[in-house]
Amino acid sequence: MLSTLDLERFRGTPLTRGPFDFLVVPEFVKAEARPAIDKDYPEVGRPGSFPLREVSYGPAFARLIEEMRSDEFRRVFEEKFNIDLATRPDMITVRGRCSEKDGKIHTDSETKIITILIYMNSEWDSSGGRLRLLRSGTDLEDVILEVPPAGGTLLAFRRSNNSWHGHKPFSGPRRVIQFNWVTSEAVVRREQNRHRLSAWLKKLRGAFSDQKAVA
C-alpha cells in the first residue's frame, strides 16, 4: 500500500526552535491521496472538535489515520523533537466547521506533549482562520508565522508555556485533523468526554437558536 504521507519531506524540514519548537510541512499529505481523503472525510456540520469514535468516515480517511498511528510516524516525530513517545497515548479529533468564537489565543493544555494539525481544505482565500504562531498571549498581531489551512499542510509544535497560537475570526467550513501525544490514558478519556460535552452543548444552542428564529 502506498503511503499517503510524505515522511521524507517531513524529515527534510528543519525544526524552528524559538520561541518554541515547531515546523510547518506543506504537502505533507500527498496530492495524489487528497481527493480520496477529502471524499471520505467525516461529515462534521457543526463547530467543535469531535473524537473519531463520534464521527463516520470512509476507507481513505481510515488509511490516513492508520498511518498516523503507525510506529514509523511516531519515530519521525521522536527524531525531530528529540523525545521518547513510545509509552505516550495519542488522541485524535477532527473539525469540519469554524465559528466566529474559535481561534482565541492559547498554548494548549499542559497534558499535551506534541500537537499536530493537518489541514484538509482544498484552498484558502479568507484572511480569517489562518493559524498564527505568536510571541505572546495578548497580541494576535505579534506573529512569528501564519499558516494557511490549505490542503495537506502539517503544523506541529511542542507544547510549552509560551506556545501561543490563535487565528482571526472565521465562520464556515474549515477541515483540520488534530493529533496529540498526551501524558496519560486518563487525559484521553477526559478530553474525549470534554469534546463530546462541548459538541453536544453547541448542538443544543444551535437547535435553540433555530427554534427562536421559527418563533
In a domain, 1, yes or no: no
Total domains in the fold of the chain: 1
Q: For 130-177, how does the pLDDT look when each residue is reduced to its tens digit (9 = 90+)?
A: 999 999 999 999 999 999 999 899 999 999 999 999 999 999 999 999
Q: Which three cell numbers stand for residue 59?
A: 476507507
pLDDT at residue number 192: 73
Q: Give the dihedral sign, CA 75/31/148/55.
A: negative
The region of weakest confidence among 8-17, 112-121, 191-200 is 191-200
In a domain, 15, yes or no: yes
Whether pLDDT at 215 is above 80:
no
Q: What is the CATH number of the domain that holds 85?
A: 2.60.120.620
In a domain, 12, yes or no: yes
In a domain, 118, yes or no: yes
In a domain, 41, yes or no: yes
In a domain, 26, yes or no: yes
pLDDT at residue number 191: 75
Q: For 4-37, how does the pLDDT look when each residue is reduced to its tens digit (9 = 90+)?
A: 999 999 999 999 999 999 999 999 999 999 999 9
Question: CA-CA distance, 93 to 100, in Å (whole number)?
Answer: 20
pLDDT at residue number 189: 80
The pLDDT-based confidence of 187 (bands split at 50, 70, 90) is confident
Domain that holds residue 167: 7-214
Q: For 63-99, how does the pLDDT look when each residue is reduced to its tens digit (9 = 90+)?
A: 999 999 999 999 999 999 999 999 999 999 999 999 9
In a domain, 2, yes or no: no
